[in-house]
Amino acid sequence: MEQVRAAITAIGHFLPEDVVTNADLEKLVETSDEWIQSRTGIKERRILRDPEKATSYMATKAAEEMLQKRGISAEELDLIIIATVTPDMFFPATACLVAANLGATNAWGYDVSAACSGFLFALSTGARFIESGKHTKVLIIGADKMSSIVDYTDRTTCILFGDGAGCVLLEPDSTGNGVIDSIEHVDGSQWAALRMLGGGSLHPPSAETLEKRLHYLHQEGPSVFKHAVKGMAGVAGDVMEKNGLTGDDIKFLVPHQANLRIIDATARRMGITMDKVMLNIERYGNTTAATLPLCLSDWESDLFPGDNIILAAFGGGFTWGASYVKWAYDGSKFGA
Ligand code: UT7
């Protein structure tokens, strides 16, 4: 019998209805649709405007869709891991709030903070609980309300980000499908290139942190860009080489959606053409921890058992990594 692996057996997603176009941003900052599209590939993004709703709301909606599609109840969940850098609050963890919303009374859970690599890191962690035999149903969610930490007077960042949530269910599989391998990295020496300084124990909220706008995300774009190209393309190539895969073996690359040019470099390093790349950055922008599951959700109907897919991400920390997954179910029964 094949070893037990963690297979993705269902997907859910949630996107807020409100659309912010490049033309909308032209009214807020000195920018242009032409600049944004040519430098990033983004045309529009979704924003959760309701001030009463936050990341847990979107994560709950995504999880409810997944449960409904899989035909299981929330009580069956063993563990909920949420990747986010925009938790509803520092504590309790967003996973606790989502468990309560869902009625997942038999689950435990926690949040993972790894910025744009959060979903990958959570997937890798969750897979271990399945492989070890401890759990049979692990919910992995990537969710971020980036609009809550974006400075809409900063043209270098406000054009990039959007809000959204996506999730997958992990269950045991003994047929050879599931999460086959992954590689993860951090480089904390580069922490300052992508950060939000205010609100933590180093700079607790004060009149001064507010005045200095420390409660907003700050990015040194060109530096992150340079490292992201090297990191994401490198690690995607590494996980392929480690598993003896060539571009021909890959059905899809599922890349973090930060910049079309970074994705292009990754595809080239992997030796695959852009028709094998999941791309929705033009519609949603960078939703941080949600980009990978939102791609899987959009392409679900094109995924079939045994398909080889590579997920890759790079983000603040720096954090980066790649996962090799063999798809486990007929997505055409569920997708659009
Ligand atoms: O998800 C986590 C990981 N994040 C990423 O991977 C993002 C990585 N970085 C990037 O994607 C790119 O660096 C950006 C899209 C953020 C910026 O693109 P860039 O090609 O690196 O532009 P730049 O920052 O070098 O700026 C070029 C010029 C500058 O003007 P000067 O100094 O040449 O006169 C900027 O001030 O473009 C200017 N600029 C803008 N112009 C119009 C910066 N932002 C804008 C804007 N509209 N929104």
| Tens-place pLDDT, residues 63-117 | 999 999 999 999 999 999 999 999 999 999 999 999 999 999 999 999 999 999 9
What residue's CA is closest to ligand 1, atom 11?
259
How high does pLDDT run on average in the chain?
A: 97
The residue-averaged pLDDT of 126-143 equals 98
pLDDT at 2: 75
pLDDT at 184: 98
pLDDT digits (tens, 9 = 90+) for 180-230: 999 999 999 999 999 999 999 999 999 999 999 999 999 999 999 999 999
What residue's CA is closest to ligand 1, atom 16?
221
The reported pTM is: 0.97
The residue-averaged pLDDT of 274-284 equals 97
Is the CB of residue 118 less than 8 Å from the CB of residue 317? no
What residue's CA is closest to ligand 1, atom 21?
222
Residue 203, Cα to own-chain centre: how many angstroms? 27
pLDDT at 335: 65
Q: Identify the band that residue 123 occupies on the pLDDT scale cut at 50, 70 and 90.
A: very high
Q: Identify the band that residue 1 occupies on the pLDDT scale cut at 50, 70 and 90.
A: low
284 CA distance to ligand 1 centroid (A)?
18
The residue-averaged pLDDT of 262-277 equals 93
Q: Which domains does the chain have, with CATH numbers?
A: 5-176 (3.40.47.10), 180-334 (3.40.47.10)
The finding on whether 92 has its CB within 6 A of some atom of ligand 1 is: no
13, 22, 116, 218: the catalytic one is 116
The CA–CA distances, whole Å, from 297 to 85, 93, 193, 290, 292 equal 21, 25, 30, 11, 9
Can you read off the two tokens belonging to residue 10?
């269902």
